[in-house]
Amino acid sequence: MKRIGVFTSGGDAPGMNACIRAVVRAAVYKGIEVYGIRRGYNGMIRGEIFKMESSSVSNIVQRGGTILKSARSKEFMTREGRQKAFEQLQNFGIEGLVAIGGNGSFTGAKLFFDEFGIPTVGAPGTIDNDLFGTDYTIGYDTAVNTALDAIDKIRDTADSHERVFFVEVMGRDSGYIAIPCAIGGGAEIVMIPETETTIPSIIEALRTGWNRSKTSSIVIIAEGEVEGGAMKVAAKVQEALPDMDARVTIIGHVQRGGAPTAFDRLLASRLGIACVEGLLDGHKSVMAGLINSKLVYTPFEETFTKRKLINPNFTKMVEVLSV
């Protein structure tokens, strides 16, 4: 393999730049050419492809976002879109791809390989940490720390005003961001899609807290837990507890930005190199990940069809620690 392409796709995640840097530098180190593809699959379809050198990735290891831009491409989900993308890659002589993204990106990568046979190795880049085949995804650690920082601040004002805050964090269909936010942020209750937490149980927990003379509480809600999210949960609890002074905070896209933590920079660098090495070793349709600190290549299909389980003890921990 003499020429590869690299792109970022789906929701951006802190550490994507560190990963791009690692891919480019590893390729240069191995003596192969590397082309950047802008705007994910959309840019691939339109031929937004340019040669990258070692200097193209100077001074980006510490930056959030992605210098290659990102997109969720509807066109790539069509056969015609993928055909156009294939033709563009052929025009540029690109023989292998590194895809940095999450489950949507890898669904596309699998389809693309099956149809057109361009070897692709993925690096897990998503704050959601919801990909099977890696203990951690790039951006997750930073997003959790960003959310925790916000929760610490919310706790200050919750305490001053003796309020209950319902705080919604991201994570799509998973509770991976919510759990460490709840444990590390000292929340009284956590709601995640993986386990059932009923409204009556929240009401009960809050009442119990007040009876123990707690004057403020934090409830963390994973965005995928209930339709309507934290607003809906707060409204239902308020109905049953009219004296409760409640507020809702949706932390939102703040969680996607900012400088990556040391953990994410290291993970991104390690997996970026592993993607290039994986392509050179003949891997074709896999994601590079770390399981128990060991490098593992997992078929794309498994990364988004198999569910990575959350340790059920974590929700119990929140209950124990809020006593």
Name which of residues 277 to 306 contact ligand F6P (CB under 6 A): none
Binding of residue 126 to ligand F6P (CB under 6 A): yes
Cβ-based neighbour number of residue 308 at 10 Å: 15
Q: Figure out which of the listed residues 102, 124, 133, 272 binds ligand F6P, where binding follows CB under 6 A.
A: 102
**Separation CA 80–CA 203 (nearest Å):** 52
- Chain centroid to CA 78: 25
Instruction: Check residue 101 for interaction with ligand F6P (CB under 6 A).
Output: no
Centroid of chain to Cα 125: 6
Known active-site residue 128: yes
Phi, psi (5° rounding) for residue 209? -60, -45
Given a contact cutoff of 8 angstroms between Cβ atoms, the answer to whether 142 and 264 are in contact is yes
Task: Looking at residues 181 to 240 of the shown chain, list those that interact with ligand F6P (rule: CB under 6 A).
Answer: 223
Residue 33 in the binding site for ligand F6P (CB under 6 A)? no
> Between the CA of residue 305 and those of 9, 15, 35, 107, 215, what are the distances in Å?
19, 24, 30, 9, 43
Q: Tell the residue number behind the tokens 């890898």, with chain if given.
A: 106
Span interacting with ligand F6P, options 124-132, 194-202, 259-267, 269-277, rule CB under 6 A: 124-132
When asked if residue 264 is in the footprint of ligand F6P (CB under 6 A), the reply is no
> d(Cα 280, Cα 277) in Å, to the nearest integer?
5
- Site for ligand F6P (CB under 6 A): how many residues? 10
**Residue from the set 5, 8, 11, 270 that interacts with ligand F6P by CB under 6 A:** 11
Residues with a catalytic annotation lie at 128
Q: Where is the binding site for Mg(2+), in residues?
A: 103
Using CB under 6 A as the criterion, which residues of the chain lie in contact with ligand F6P when the complex forms? 11, 102, 126-128, 170-172, 223, 256
Q: Where is the binding site for ATP, in residues?
A: 11, 72-73, 102-105
